Structure formats: structure tokens, C-alpha cells
Structure 1
Amino acid sequence: MGTILLLAAAEIKASAGGVEPVAELLDIKLRLDPFSASSLDSIDTARLKSGQYLVSNLQDGGLQAQARIRLQDRWYLLTGVFDGFQTAHIRGAAKMMQRLITREPRSFYKFIDEYSTNYDLPIRVLSSIEAGHFADKLSTMHAPNYHASYDIKGSSGRFYTYFSDIDQVVELGPVMFRQGLKLQSVMVIVVFAILLTGLAVYWLMYRFEVNLQRLERATTRIASGHLSSRVNVDSQDAFGRLGEAFNRMANQIQRLMGVQKEMIRAVSHELRTPVARMRFGVQMLEDTAEDAYTQKQLHEMDQDLQELDELVDEILTYARLEEGGPILEFKSANMLDLVDQVVEETRRRTDKVQVNWHSETVAEDEIFSDVEYRYLHRALQNLVGNACRYAQSQVHIEYSFENGLCRIDVEDDGSGIPEKDWTRVFSPFTRLDDSRTRASGGYGLGLSIVRRIIFWHGGEASVGESRWQGAKMTLAWPQTHQSQ
């Protein structure tokens, strides 16, 4: 661009300072400033005084060229701003060269040496042999028209124009095209890249969320007892491998639970058959025995066998609940009716303690809940029966409703449960006082069954201290059942 600026300087000098016509001819921004007012350093000033020019990059991607020019006995700084290479620059340069050739009396070759040596736009007069290649194009190459030739990569070009005054074809170039982009172009590319990156990240996060939801749903269903649930694997990425590992784990769990289920059934069956035979034999002996001591021993053996039979039932019930086997049918039921039924059944079985119940909640929309009536009846029956075994004189049951949760409290006035044992009282086969539990007929499974039943209802079972410093058992579950 320096050569074009020097040609512009010569044209301005010849027109006595006409900057605007030259700027319009080259389609660039030109400005004249007093040289003495410039803020150039000493090195750049020396270069300009020696006849050279300065070229610097602008922030918006353009180029700024500067040269020193003398007008009317004063020195000026000519500044030109090039936004990028344009064909108007070559056309304007050819036009100015034609005017200079017309104005200058010196020979054209001296002009070539003066304006082409060591500048960024080489100018060369073609030999007659080289010019012969353009013989059929001369009519369209009269300056400022030209013929352009570009390399195969499009990174440089040569421009040929014909000066009829000297009958010569002149080559301008090669011109190396700048590969940089303007700031506006860079900003557009950056914004477009950000948008593409955002879309890619959104897509990845969307797929991550979808796959995570699949895994979460399968995990929740397996935790709810649906052991046949699996993750749908449709890719071989990290989530696909995780899904395959999850499915293998689920297969193994289902297989082990199936083996456990079959083993419990087989053991229970094998236990019940000999127990039934033994009870039958003991009862026959008891009927024929005349000795009171023998009858007493046989009666105690019969009770032990009865307990063993009941224990098998408890084990089967607990195993079925623990493995997620039961298919629960949740229906809306009146909780006050449920509590009343359990209380009446308990009163018929025992007269040791007084069993009462109460509820401040009587609104219809608060006493109905989605439950599996048979299992919840079993859970409450276990709690009330357990309280009756350890109570001294009374058991109290309370139903309440708050914030969408149904709650049943069962309190007794017995010796209570130590706070240190509250966390393990619901564990299977746990006996806090083995001799007392044995005497009361417990197996250590009743509260475990209660915990599993209320778990399948989406609730929790907890233990605390009653108003009489005895035990307080609490069941709390959502009024509305959310199917998995």
C-alpha cells in the first residue's frame, strides 16, 4: 500500500493539495496534517525524511500508510487508511501513473525506477515477447483498465495495464493479499462460534439429562420392587456403558432375589410338613397321657410347635415384603374405620389392658387415604399387639393429619424402649430383652414387617417416648400414593 500512497502524494503535489479527488479515485481515506505537529518518534521521523513510508496495523483490521509530502514550501504528513485490498486501488494507481507519465518530461524507465524500487507494489515494463501474450486483449487493457492474473491459491495477483502513450504493457505486482479479517468479521465469527458452542453444550447437557432421568427412573422402580426394570441402552458412550453395567447389576440382583425367594419357600415347606406331623403326634399323646406332668410337657411342646409354625408365617411375610414381591393395590380408605377395626379386634383378644383410640381429625378429605388396606391393617395390628404385650394397663391410639401426611401414634404405659435402641428396633430378629420377648411370644420380626409395609406406602415408621414414659410407635405416610 506504500507505493499507492506515494503515487497519491505525487498526484496531490501535482494538483497543489487536492486531497479529495485523489481519495475518491483510490476509494480510501486520505488526510493531510502539518508534519511538525505529528507525534512520531525519532526513528519513524527519520524514515519519512529519507523518502520511505510507514505502514501499521489498525485495531479494526485495516492498514494505515503514512508518507511525507512537500506542498508550497511546507512539509505535511499524508495519512491513508486502507480497509483492505480493492480493485479500485489498482485502477486508481494505473490512472495516476498515466497522468504522471503525461505530466513528467522524464523517461518512463526513470519513473519506474523511482516509484517501484523497494516498495510493496512492484512495477515492471514487460518485454515485447511477454507483451505479445496480451496482443488480443490490448483493446480492453487501456489504463486505467487492466487484466488480472491470480495464483491458484488466490493469495497473490498480478495486474497488467496498457499505456498507449508509450505503447507499453506494465505489470503491477505481485500483490500479496492480506489473509486477516476485519474486526467486524472476527466478531461475527466469534459470535457464530459461541452460538455453535452453546448449541453443542445444550445438546450434550440435554442428552446427559435424558440419560440421567432414564437411570433415575430405572433405579426408583427397582427400589420400589420392580426388579425387572432395565435401562434402555441406545449408545456406546459413557452413559451407554453405565447403563449396561447397571443392567448387569440389576440382572444379578434379580437372580439373587429369585434364589432367595425359592430357598425361603422351600425351607418353609420343608419345615411346615414335619412340624404338622409333630403337632399331630404330640396332640395324640396328650389325649392318651394320664400323668399330669406328662400332659404338661406335651402341652408346652405343642405351644412351641405352634410358635414355630407362626414364626414360619412371619418369615414368609417379611421376606415377601423385603424382596419387593407383593403387588399392592392402593385404594382410598377411611383411616378412622381402620383404627376402630383394629381396636375392636384387639379388645376381643385381650382383657389385660385397656385399649382406647381418639382423633381430632374428622374432616372427610383428611381421614381418607390411598392405602393397601390389608397390609396397613397388618402393620397397625402388629403395633397394637406389641403395645399390649408390654403395657401395664393401657394402650392409646391417635390418628392425625397434617401437611398431606397421615399419621397414627400407638402409645403404651410400659417400661419403654431406651433411646439408644430407637434406630435398631425395626431391624429383623432384634430382641432388646430376649427373656422378656420370649415370655411375651415375640419373634423379632413384627416391627420389621411394619417398617416394610409403611415403606411400600412411601412413609416411615419411628419410635419415641409416650406420655406415660412408655413406648410410642408412629406410622406416617403420604395421603395420596404416587405410583412409580
Structure 2
Amino acid sequence: MFKHSIFLRIYAGVVILVALVAVFCYLLVQIINYQRAQEYRESLTNGIAYVMSQGVERQQTLQQKQDWISDAADLLELPLYLVERSKMDLSRSEQKRIDSQQAVVRYDAQTMIATLLIGLPHDSKHYLFIKVNKIGERQMKALPIFILDYLIYYPGQEKQYLDKIRPYFSYPIQIEPMLSLGLDSEQIGRLRQDQSILLYRDSATMRGTTISIVSPMPNNPSQVLLIGPVPMFNWMPFQLAAGITLLSLFLLSLGVYGLILPMQRKTKQVISALDKMKTGDLSLRLLVDGHDEMASLSSSYNDMASHIQRLIEAQRELMRAVSHELRTPVARIRFGMEMLADEDDYEFRKSQLEMIDKDIEALNTLIDEIMTYAKLEQGTPSLDFERIQIADVLQQVATETEALKTQKTIVVANIDAAVVADAERRYLHRVVQNLVGNAVRYCNERVQMSGGILENGQAYICVEDDGAGIPEEDRQRVFEAFARLDDSRTRASGGYGLGLSIVSRIAFWFGGKIQVDQSPQLGGARFTMIWPAKRFNPAKQKRKEKEES
């Protein structure tokens, strides 16, 4: 069922596509966030790394540097020491950051430990190495101490030197009056006791949660050093969410378009074929690819085009044949009327009237044959199938034919009266009648009819004669409208070449076929029509259900 429905394939394709896009977007977010997190860590450490490198550089001797580093490690409660540059292998981008007096951050996602390498401008042999395994309140409150340690060397010029180091920080650092921050009494009391405080702010804006660090300024109790606000890392900021959403919609649109494109292409082919059909060109046929609805549409179009083309050709052939067939009886009637006008003899006039009456009857017969053929040729006739006794129909036609006193022997083979098949009685009678009439015209003495049910469940009727038969190369032509294999013989025996064409169309609408070969018993032609003995009749089933209800 799945391969037979293009819509189910599209729905399934959309589900799979959504799943793939979701996995792709998840991986993309992880990759982007990994890079963003790395940039976030580097932006937080750049400023403090510069200040710490300046603090180390101020120490005159190696021992003083070691002591400063030891004090800083105790303050941060983090491992902090000097490492030789020769022992550290830096990438090009990391070396570029060292040269720009920025920190190199290496983060291990498994251990969740970050290592910082800080270059010392006047020490070409060592890096300042910090191992960050935790970030807490203690570490955050230590940050302003390093900044104040840098500014203490410039008394009275703190703001100027703060402006100098501010470009190294990705967050604001400034000196502000204590009372301008809107702090409560407890926070002010802690500042006056020379303690740093942390201020958390939750915002509904894109910045989200921020942290600010406030530390009292030495020798100036009315002012404080304000670091921040520092935004917390947001794993899904608005820009990233919007970008991923738009990318997802774009990928889904491309995927859906890719799923619909084959159907669109096939639809355009059908539209193009229909446009060409409107111009009168019925030769174009569509490629039937697959077993889905579009393949069924292409197949239906091909069948429709073939049927219309066949109808047009049949109509043209019918018009040519009708004009030819009507010309002879009309000419005879006109000739007879002229003879009547010039003749006074009663007996002669009576014979002429009889001939004219026969020509008129021939015209009526021809018109009836044409109407029957046209009705069967133009489209599906209204067929009311019912259970028919094959022997009954054959015997009826035999009785009707014998009443015509054809001087031919009509034989019906013994058929069990219980042998029945689904058929339209009127059209089945017409088939047998036309086949027998054709056999009577061309047989020598004997015509034989038979019928029954084959082993494969197909019903059949068979009409044979002892005439000359039909050459094998002409056996398909006999079913064409107005076809005459022997024109002079046909005119002598009567007929217009429509009888077998009508039989062929009835066999088609019965869901069967008609074929001709040589009779093994009589030696002449043997016509056999085969059709399904049982078939489902929706109209009859509905009537039965209605009667039962």
C-alpha cells in the first residue's frame, strides 16, 4: 500500500525529514554552543588575565614573583604557578592570543576543568598557569582584589588607569558612588566592613541573568569598584533560537519541495499532454512510472487518449463507410422512382414498388446496424448482467433462424440446461444471432452452435460452419467495421460488414474477447466468444441489499 500511494510517501517523508532536521539542528546547536561557550570563557578571562600578568610583571625577582603567585593561588583557592614555555605546545590561534596579551583557555568537557595560560610580556621563558576546577563566590569576590592591586600603584589616578585596562574586559568596570547603586542597609554595611558583595539581576530581556561584583575602594569609603553586570552564559539566546528556527523551516521547505517535486513534474507532464490534446494531437503518451496515484493518472490519460483516438478514427471510418453504403440503395430508390414516373403498366409499377420497399427496408436495417455499432463504440453501454442459461439463448436463435427458411441445417450441441453465466441477455442474443447469420451466408449446408463453461471459469459460445473458412491473414480484419474480404460475394449474400464489429464490441464490454479459427469438425470458420462466467454487478448488489433491508 505504501508504494502505491504517493501521498503516504510524502507524509512519511515529511516525518523522516522532520526527524533528520531535528537531529541536525540539535547537533548544530551543540557545535555552536561549544564555540560560544569557549568564546564566553575567553571573554571573561581576558581582562583579569591582563591584570594578573601586570601584577606578576611588577615583581622584581623570581622569588617575589613566586610569592605573588602563591598569594594569588591562596586567594583564589586554585592551583596557580609558572610553567616553562618550552613544555607547552600552542596552536597558531593560541599563540596569537598570547601575543595579544589575552588568556588561552583550554576546557575539558569530560572533567569539566579549564586550564588558563597567561603570557608574561617581559618573561619569554614562562607562562602563568591556572587550573580552574571550580567557580564560586570565593573566586568571584577575588577578582576586584586583583584590579585594586593594579590600581593601588596609581593613587589619585584610579579612574584614568581604569580606563586604560577597560578595553581588555568584555564587561563594564567602573568606579561609582556607593549610594548611587540603590543598595540596602545590609549590603552597605558589608561594604563598609571592606567586604565585596555580589548582585544578581534577573532580566526579561535578551541579557537574562547577570552578576555584578561590588568592592569598596581603599581610602575612599564613599566609592566602590563595580564590575559588571556580567551576563550568565545563555545556552539558547534569542538570536540563536531564531536562526535555528529559520534554518529548520528552510530545510523543511527544501525537503518538502524535494518530495513534492516528482509529483509536480508528473502533473506538469499531464497538463502539457492535455494542452496538446486540446490542439487535436492525440499521439502523445505519458510514461507510467511506478504504481502510485500519479502512475494511475498517467495510465488513465493514456487509456483516455487511446480511446478518444480510436473513437475519432472509428467515426471517420464510419462516416466514409456509411456514405458508401447509403449511396447504393439511395441510387436504386431514385432509379425506381424515375421508372415509376415513366411507366403506366400496373404490374411493372407494382414490381418497382416492391423493389423500392426492399431498398427502404435495407436502409432501415443499415441504420439499425449503424446505431447499434455506434452505441457500443462510443462508450460503456448500460449493461444489466443476470444469470443466463446458455442453452436457452442458443436454442432461441436456432428456432428464429430456421423460421427464415434459409435451407441450411442449424445444429445445437447438447448443453446442460444448468449451465449458466452472467450476461446481458439482449446483447448475448445479438452476438449469437450475428454469428449464426454470418455462418448461414457463407456455409455450404451446415451450421453448428455450442457453449458452456471452461475449466478456468470462463463462459463461451461457439458457432461453426462448413464453408470455405477465413484465411489466417484476414482473421483480424473481419472484426473491423464495414470490412469485406470478398466484396462481390458479400454483396450477393447481403450484409454490411457491421455484424462482426458489433460482436467484437459486445465481447469487449462483457470483459471477454472474440476469436476466429478453422473448425476442426466442419472445416469452415469457427467463431468463439469467451467472457467471465461470473462478475460482480454493483447495481444488482445494491438492489439486493435494498430488498433485504
With the length of structure 2 as denominator, give the TM-score of the two structures.
0.52
Q: Which residue of 1 aligns with 2:377?
A: 322
Q: CA deviation at 1:2?
A: 1.5
2:460 corresponds to: 407
Deviations 1:191-241 (A, max 9, x none): 997599669969x98xx99xx9xxxxxxxxxxxxxxxxxxxxxxxxxx9xx
Q: Report the Cα distance in structure 1 between the residues aligned to 2:179 and 2:470, rounded to whole angstroms.
A: 116
Q: Kindly indicate whether residue 435 of structure 2 is the aligned counterpart of residue 383 of structure 1.
A: yes
Q: CA deviation at 1:435?
A: 0.9
2:411 matches 1:355: yes
* Residue aligned with 1:379, SS: helix
Cα distance in 1, alignment partners of residues 239 and 74 from structure 2: 33
Q: Residues 380 and 42 from structure 1, CA distance in 2 versus in 1: closer, same or farther, beyond 3 angstroms?
A: same
The answer to whether structure 1 residue 68 and structure 2 residue 142 are counterparts is no
Aligned residue for 2:44?
A: 4
Deviation at 1:388, TM superposition (A): 2.4
Partner Cα separation in structure 2 for residue 194 and residue 378 of structure 1: 62
**2:181 paired residue number:** 134
* Aligned counterpart in structure 2 of residue 121 of structure 1, from 170, 177, 185: 170
Moved more, 374-383 or 100-109: 100-109
In structure 1, C-alpha distance between the alignment counterparts of 2:497 and 2:84, rounded to whole Å: 106
Task: Determine the structure 1 residue equivalent to 2:488.
Answer: 435
Quick check: 102-111 or 368-377, which moved more?
A: 102-111
Contact 1:286 1:299 in 2 (8 A): no
Which position in structure 1 is the counterpart of 2:513?
460
Unmatched segments (≥5 aa) in structure 2: 1-40, 53-67, 120-124, 189-195, 271-296, 298-303, 540-549
Quote the Cα distance in structure 1 between the aligned partners of 2:42 and 2:513. 86
Code of the aligned partner of 1:95: K
Partner of 2:291: none
In the alignment, the residues of structure 1 paired with residue 69 and residue 476 of structure 2 have an alpha-carbon distance, to the nearest angstrom, of 99
Q: Distance in 1 between matches of 2:498 and 2:166?
A: 105
Contact 1:98 1:143 in 2 (8 A): no
| Number of matched pairs | 395
In structure 1, C-alpha distance between the alignment counterparts of 2:150 and 2:170, rounded to whole Å: 21
Aligned residue runs from structure 1 range 212-361, under 5 A:
289=347, 303-324=358-379, 327-349=382-404, 350-357=406-413
Distance 2:107 2:488 in 1: 96
Deviations along 1:93-127, one digit per CA (max 9) or x if unpaired, are 74342454688894695998599554462342045
> 2: CA distance between counterparts of 1:15 and 1:106?
16
> CA separation of 1:462/1:101 partners in 2, compared to 1, >3 Å: closer, same or farther?
same
| Equivalent pair of 1:286/1:295 in contact (CA under 8 Å) | no
* 1:451 equivalent in structure 2: 504
Deviation at 1:297, TM superposition (A): 7.1
Match of residue 53 from structure 1:
103
- Within 5 Å, which residues of 2 pair with 1:94-243? 94-98=140-144, 100=146, 106=152, 109=158, 117-119=166-168, 121-128=170-177, 134-135=181-182, 143-147=197-201, 154=206, 160-164=212-216, 167-172=223-228
State the AA in 2 paired with 1:434: D
Q: Is 1:471 aligned to residue 471 of structure 2?
A: no
Distance 2:176 2:180 in 1: 10
TM-score by length of 1: 0.58
Q: Following the alignment from structure 2 to structure 1, what is the Cα–Cα distance between the partners of residues 85 and 74? A: 14
1:266-311 per-residue CA deviation (whole Å, 9 max, x = no partner) reads xx9xx99x98xx89x99xx999528xxx987776555444333322
Q: Is contact 1:400–1:408 with CA below 8 Å preserved after alignment?
A: no
1:44 aligns with 2:98: no
Alpha-carbon distance in 2 for matches of 1:120, 1:138 = 30
Residue aligned with 1:52, SS: coil
Change (3 A) 1:92 1:402: farther
Structure 2: how far apart are the matches of 1:313 and 1:415?
29
Find the aligned partners of 2:83 and 2:498 in 1 and give their Cα distance.
102
**Which position in structure 2 is the counterpart of 1:28?**
none
Deviation at 1:189, TM superposition (A): 8.3
Q: Supply the distance in 2 between the matched residues of 1:438 and 1:337 (Cα, whole angstroms).
A: 32
Whether contact under 8 Å (1:2, 1:53) holds in the other structure is yes
User: Residues 395 and 412 of structure 1 are in contact (CA less than 8 Å); yes or no, is this contact kept in structure 2?
Assistant: yes
Whether the 8 Å CA contact 1:148–1:159 is kept in 2: the answer is no
Measure, in 1, the Cα distance between the counterparts of 2:455 and 2:69. Answer: 94
- Name the SS of the counterpart of 1:145 in structure 2: strand
Aligned counterparts of 2:414 and 2:153: Cα–Cα separation in 1 = 124
Q: Give ranges in structure 1 of 5+ residues lacking alignment.
A: 24-31, 82-87, 213-238, 240-245
SS in 2 for 1:406: strand
Deviation at 1:382, TM superposition (A): 0.5
1:74 to 1:339, Cα distance in 2 relative to 1, 3 A: farther
> CA distance change for structure 1 residues 8 and 50 in 2, over 3 Å: closer, same or farther?
closer
For the structure 1 residues 105 and 306, does the alpha-carbon distance in structure 2 shift closer, same or farther, using more than 3 Å as the test? closer
Distance 1:95 1:385, change over 3 A: farther
